[in-house]
A and B are shown apart, each in its own frame.
Chain A
């Protein structure tokens, strides 16, 4: 009975892979020559030295399936093998077993943040992170995904937040922001230009963010709103690798945006939420959006370019920046955060490898929701730490709540006294106050 259930779930996993294997995947698997260069691009390999963390190796079960079922040579080999088995009267050995998938689960989840750096260096051009994302679909379908991520997905579907956060918690924060700033936080405002989404991690760890955008949007005269029915931007379905869960969660955002008839949706300082809504969302629900999606940094930079953000004073200490993988390498937002830094920092220094070649903090792609991955997450952080040590900043700036938490925890672990701040907050700190601005206008 147990055996039956198992083979059924493996079969479901294989079916998911059969659905995921497309022309790029076939081209990638056809081209790998086992050169091992992808290992050098992976913080999980570089910091552990264990060859099993070589990115392409993480895809071996899916490659086996592709070879056997999607190539003529593989089909021929299978036919011969089956013939021999029948002749000898023995049961054919399954290609992919539960044990194998169990062995690969930590490789596909714990030791991969889907940062995509390997995809940038592969000499034959394999987009490995594209395949990891697909491989996870089969892992979910076969019942081999980490408990932490399963729990986060269940909470996200049931409560709307992967951390089980409810509107009333956010409401308390909204009241607090309104008291502190004397400004209104718009809720469910029909026809606003921007629907602002948040991440639970942000609401819990970095309430400064909501206050910062409230100030900036008031300053720039931006029409915006929160939605009571959907405030969560993150998508656990995309991290764990379940198109169904992903579609359910994306649909909530789309419903809220359509109901409020907003023109744009803003993804918060969170990397994967942006990938989820901006790039994967429309494909999860199989239709284009009637609105545009921006990361908050893109919106702020546009306001800057339009002259709608007026700042005064600059940060004098030595600042450096961590580019979230999902924002920079995986979404092409590289210059925007630097233009914003120029506005408010006089002593900014980039990490040596940044932008599309930045190193992952080690916590993305679901690694931070997977308690089992804790030691690996800290190991991978050592690469970031080495990068930070190279330029010796006094503070780090970033624009993703997961990266920020990882940087804070990692730096603390290694006794490095380098505070981490969100870029949006720094901008908010330097806004020219309205009264001053009005006075200046009167004088001139």
Chain B
């Protein structure tokens, strides 16, 4: 297989497969959650559920050093012009991006941030105690797309079709792994936050 064949494979059938597994997987996960429902609450409410629930959805974005790399990840994902082009060609929607050098710098910081959180996980007594092989697996599948993207942009892997193919391939691994692991928190954390805010909100506390 030539590098070009590999690139075509990752851009074509593999990409469709990954997207399908990701989309179906996430739908199933969300269905599994919502299908369980909630028991009727007979206690007279002190407060509203919906507004505090929605508030908690954004109030839990804390400027914690351990979670700051998420911002870089999202910037690189959604504001890098070639990514926007791809989204435009598949979904038909687009938005302005950031200049490449900015995204480049953000990506470098994100990579360092991810390395830092890995070191933290390996050394912090609580994190180490809680960590399972899955925590290291999801770190790896998150780190690789950022790393390969960075390497491809700087032409550090040659030839270029191989570099781009590797980047897309690691993204596909990320997408396929996502619904089966705690990477689902990308979606379910908002559901969890809503419920948290609603449960407390009903009792008159903004959580």
Chain A interfacial positions (CB closer than 8 Å to B): 21-28, 30-37, 39, 45, 49, 51-52, 54, 56-57, 70-73, 119-120, 122-127, 130, 278-283, 285-289, 292-293, 328-334, 356
Contact = CB atoms under 8 A, between A and B. Distances in A.
10 contacts: A23-B195, A35-B127, A37-B64, A54-B126, A119-B200, A122-B196, A127-B196, A280-B43, A282-B44, A285-B42
A57 to B, nearest CB: 6
B30 to A, nearest CB: 9
Contacts of A23: 33-38, 191, 195
Given A23-B34, A26-B36, A332-B47, A39 B126 contact: yes
A393 to B, nearest CB: 25
A332 B43 CA distance: 14
Interface string B112-129: 000000000000111111
Interface stretch (B10-18, B79-87, B130-138): B130-138
A32 B182 contact: yes
Given A35-B127, A125-B197, A329-B205, 17 more contacts: A22-B36, A27-B192, A30-B29, A30-B182, A36-B127, A52-B129, A57-B130, A119-B200, A122-B196, A125-B196, A126-B196, A283-B39, A283-B41, A283-B42, A289-B44, A332-B47, A332-B203
A21 B35 CA distance: 11
Contacts of A280: 43
B130 A288 contact: no
B38 A283 contact: no
Nearest to B199: A127
Contacts of A333: 204
Interface of B: 28-29, 32-39, 41-44, 46-47, 56-57, 60-62, 64, 66-67, 124-132, 135, 179-180, 182, 184-185, 188-197, 199-200, 203-207
A72 B104 CA distance: 39
Given A33-B185, A51-B129, A125-B56, A331 B192 contact: no
Contacts of A292: 44
Contact of A22 (B28, B38, B44): B38
Nearest to A53: B126
A285 B47 CA distance: 22
Nearest to A126: B192
Interface of B is mostly: helix
Contacts of A36: 124, 126-127, 129-130
A289 B189 CA distance: 34
A88 to B, nearest CB: 23
A33 B135 CA distance: 7
B28 A72 contact: yes
A297 B125 CA distance: 42
Contacts of B196: 24, 119, 122, 125-127
Contact of A24 (B38, B60, B64, B131): B38
A246 B42 CA distance: 15
Contacts of A31: 182, 184-185, 188-189, 191-192
B203 A279 contact: yes
Contacts of A278: 43
B185 A32 contact: yes
Contacts of A28: 192, 195
Given A33-B182, A51-B125, A124-B60, A70 B36 contact: yes
A123 B64 contact: yes
B185 to A, nearest CB: 4
B38 A57 contact: no
Contacts of A51: 125-126, 128-130
Nearest to A56: B130
A71 B47 contact: no
Contacts of B207: 119-120, 127, 356
